Amino acid sequence: MALDKILAIAGKPGLYKLVTQTRGGFIAQSLLNGRKMSVGIQQNVSVLSEIAIYTLTEEKPLKEVLQLIKKKEKGQPTRISHKESKDKLEEYFFEILPDYDEDRVYASDIKKVVQWYNTLQKNDLLAFDEEKAKNEEE
């Protein structure tokens, strides 16, 4: 599944999969517990494919950052928890993305990226390379 179908909803824990659109918004399914919920268009929703991480030279798409984590962790969950200290999270992220902008990428952002990676990994939704190859074949 592509990141353009995965959502982060403000005020709601975890990630959600876009199920279908409705007249006043859409239906999303939680990747944590599988429950479906109605989301209105007035709610603050972020599509993961639209999120980028600031580096010193450019903005790196979240997809690329997740691929770097996947490569480092060999497809397994991160060895660090999103609940670690600020210093440990920053140290880990520096290993993944050495040129990330420390002034604009906060510990809370790193925490989200680590948590999102682990959620996507647990739900087997990190197969971006396979999707790309499949789309090129078609």
The full DSSP string for 96-130 is H-TTB-TTTS-HHHHHHHHHHHHHHHHTT---HHH
Are residue 39 and residue 63 in the same domain, yes or no?
Answer: no
Q: How far is CA 103 from CA 54, 55, 58, in A?
A: 9, 10, 14
Q: Which domain holds residue 86?
A: 51-137
Are residue 76 and residue 102 in the same domain, yes or no?
Answer: yes
Buried b (16+ CB within 10 A) or exposed e, 80-102: bebebeeeebbebbeebbeebee
| Per-10-residue mean pLDDT, the chain, length 138 | 88 93 93 94 93 95 95 93 94 95 94 95 81 48
pTM of the predicted structure, to 2 decimals: 0.87
Q: Which tokens go with 60?
A: 């790196």
Q: Residue 133 has what pLDDT? A: 43
Are residue 129 and residue 89 in the same domain, yes or no?
Answer: yes
Q: Residue 54 has what pLDDT? A: 96
Q: Residue 73 has what pLDDT? A: 93
